[in-house]
Structure 1
């Protein structure tokens, strides 16, 4: 990468032969065009690509949750990239090329807001899930009665998500999830996250277990 000092080319943007110019941080820069590699990817590279694609496709359905849930990302990453990076490292199991998601380790948000104490899920007739949690202890740090509760349910058989964002508050202590009736007999995985009412603080997501809908 070279820096132009208003020489014979002056400042320019776009491609010129095998180079391209851009204006960055009040400087005119010239860079070489990246070269295409004719080398086939190694087995290690292919494995990384498979794991990355698996998580990227899965989390793409939850973009609104991820955007808030990973807002405290490193400055050089998007919220989605931060979420994918974490889950590729921690929530993928199996042997190449048959990778699978470990739903018990999947993390949909990461933060310091107090988690939902005593979080439980129970099935109910009519394709329902009864979600409940306990009140935070008196004086609990980073816990507010107005914190918003979001519930995510993944149908393993139909490969579909039910995303219920901000459907309750921490002091509600319970929420009844009505799933589609055709979910009866299917296996689902449940997650819960909390967000402060100004969306500037989140809890680390909690896994609520796997259930067969009745």
Structure 2
């Protein structure tokens, strides 16, 4: 099905019969159906496919977290959902290659929350007496109680967890009791970020290390 744009005399977007219409740099373009290539994929194409597969799998693994963390970014990007925006970010900014030249996720570069607020600075995360201790430098801009701190725990071995509004941003420290994680022997990557709960805005997340 195609969609008419600018009335009956304008261009169209989609398929009509055997042709496709789309907009390219502000111009309406029509092309025939693409033919499936019979050429074997190049090394670059195979590497690109590996990256796409890795990113899709990782984002699927943390989908509940990125669906929360990219919710306000989605409203500014019509046509792209939360999950697609997370995929785009990780593909562009958080991919490295290992010693065998295979793509890997650089967990320090991953952003699980995104937004225009200033990110937490001077962050520390540690286990102490079976509890998760977090600290950060309070930002004077976020002294009102409507500014909260969000927490995300991401593991590559099992499902992570998302804790919303665990403390006021002005506190500078907090303790989180997560009983299920205390029993695990997996590593968790810790991310925190500020949340303006009144206006609906996040900061980019800050990576706190592995616990």
Please report the TM-score for the alignment, with normalisation by the length of structure 1: 0.71
Q: 5+ unaligned residues in a row in structure 2: which ranges?
A: 23-28
Q: CA deviation at 1:69?
A: 5.9
* Matched residue, 1:26: none
> 1:12-91 residue pairs with structure 2 within 5 A?
16=17, 18-19=18-19, 32-60=32-60, 61=62, 62-68=65-71, 70-71=73-74, 74-75=77-78, 77-91=80-94
Contact 2:146 2:168 in 1 (8 A): yes
- Aligned Cα root-mean-square deviation (Å): 3.5
Contact 2:150 2:166 in 1 (8 A): yes
Instruction: State the secondary structure of the residue aligned to 1:160.
Output: coil
Q: CA deviation at 1:37?
A: 2.6
> 1:1-214 residue pairs with structure 2 within 5 A?
16=17, 18-19=18-19, 32-60=32-60, 61=62, 62-68=65-71, 70-71=73-74, 74-75=77-78, 77-95=80-98, 98-126=102-130, 128-137=131-140, 140=141, 144-156=144-156, 158-173=157-172, 174-180=174-180, 181-183=182-184, 185-198=185-198, 200-211=200-211
Point out 4+ residue stretches in structure 1 off by more than 4 angstroms. Answer: 3-7, 72-76
Instruction: State the secondary structure of the residue aligned to 2:85.
Output: helix
Instruction: State the secondary structure of the residue aligned to 1:109.
Output: coil
Q: Distance in 2 between matches of 1:125 and 1:154?
A: 21
Specify whether residues 21 and 77 from structure 1 end up closer, same or farther in structure 2 by C-alpha distance, changes over 3 A only.
closer
Q: CA deviation at 1:152?
A: 0.8
Structure with higher Rg: it is 1
Q: CA deviation at 1:58?
A: 1.5
Aligned residues: 193
Q: 5+ unaligned residues in a row in structure 1: which ranges?
A: 23-28
Specify whether residues 163 and 196 from structure 1 end up closer, same or farther in structure 2 by C-alpha distance, changes over 3 A only.
same
Q: Distance in 2 between matches of 1:81 and 1:40?
A: 28
Q: CA deviation at 1:193?
A: 1.7
Q: CA deviation at 1:21?
A: 8.3
